Amino acid sequence: MRTKRIDRIRGWQDVKRFSIIAMVLMAVVAAGCTPTPPTDGTGPGTTQVTTQSVTPTTTIASEATNTPSTTAVTVRVYFSRNEKMQPVLRTLPAGTKATLSAAITALLAGPDAAESAAGLSSQIPSGTTLLGLVISGKTATVDLSSQYESGGGSLSMTNRLAQVVYTATQFPTVANVKFKLNGKPVKIFSGEGIMIDKPQTRADYEYSTAAIFVDNPAWQGHIVKGLTAGGTANVFEAVFRLQLRDSAGTLILDTTVKATSGTGTRGTWSQPLTWSDAKAGVGELKVFAESPKDGKPIDVVTIPVVIAP
């Protein structure tokens, strides 16, 4: 019987919330890998990861490096909110050697209590562990334990794949992801019959992605005047609105943004965040399109952000 395709899952409701225990991570070094980066992860060990918003002086990890960091670095992990991918920040301690492996381990640990209360969840089953990770060229092969495939429901299965793909491909050095379960390559994932016989990219998870996707700033990320927000969008005529409110609820920015493409094709967008005056603290960034029928807001996404003084 023909396997189900991702574009048949819209509207399916099977979101489950699980708590994840970070386990031993082991990265497998592949001979003949490209020099930058040859691998990510070098052996057993547990990476301690803390939840923390990015401050203006925090280093954002820009590649899946195997070189120990001299300072703390911040990575994104991707959970599900309203059934769509939502980046959340995790800070890795100085000395972290395997950045991508540490990011995947942080993903498996799941959202914290405050994030869960705010509606963030992970579709990755409890007990899933990272068994190995190899980067060859720009393909990351992620080996997970068999628990990763447990449970059911097309939406849950698709979103858990998307979580790993999004987390791995935050780095420019990783373009796509292959999956293994208990060391064996996976071509058909789960009893839902999801085809993953080719390297997976973010484009394979359109229905796990909000119509207006905000990748920066992440959930509760710190922002300063002049920071460039960005992400992707697939909206009518590629046009949408971006609004920013400070901690007092005052609207300090209201602007129109145009993505590189839209109306059925996902494009990228970027927008500098500027304002004349703002009260520091937790504010809100909101993006939305306007209905071509009546002008009402549609495809609304709101995320809390911390406005720096």
pLDDT in tens, 203-261: 999 999 999 999 999 999 999 999 999 999 999 999 999 999 999 999 999 999 999 99
Q: Give the separation between CA 93 and CA 65, rounded to whole angstroms.
A: 14
Mean pLDDT is lowest, of 26-30, 152-156, 297-301, for 26-30
Q: Please check whether residue 281 is in contact with residue 307, taking contact to mean a CB–CB distance below 8 angstroms.
A: yes
User: Hey, where are the domains in the chain?
Assistant: 6-208, 212-307
Q: Which residues pair with 76 in a beta bridge?
A: 89
Mean pLDDT of the chain: 83
Nearest CA to 228 out of 171, 261, 189, 272 is that of: 272
CATH of 212-307, one of 2.60.40.2550, 3.30.420.40, 1.10.10.10, 2.160.20.10: 2.60.40.2550
DSSP annotation string for 185-252: E-SEETTTTEE--S-B-GGGGGGGS-SEEEEES-BT-EE-TT-EEEEEE--GGGEEEEEEE-TT--EE
The first and second tokens of residue 269, run together, are 């967008």
The three-state secondary structure class of 204 is helix
The residues, ordered by sequence, that sit 6+ positions from 42 with a Cβ below 8 Å of its Cβ are 27, 29, 66, 97, 98
- pTM of structure: 0.80
Nearest CA to 302 out of 220, 188, 207 is that of: 220
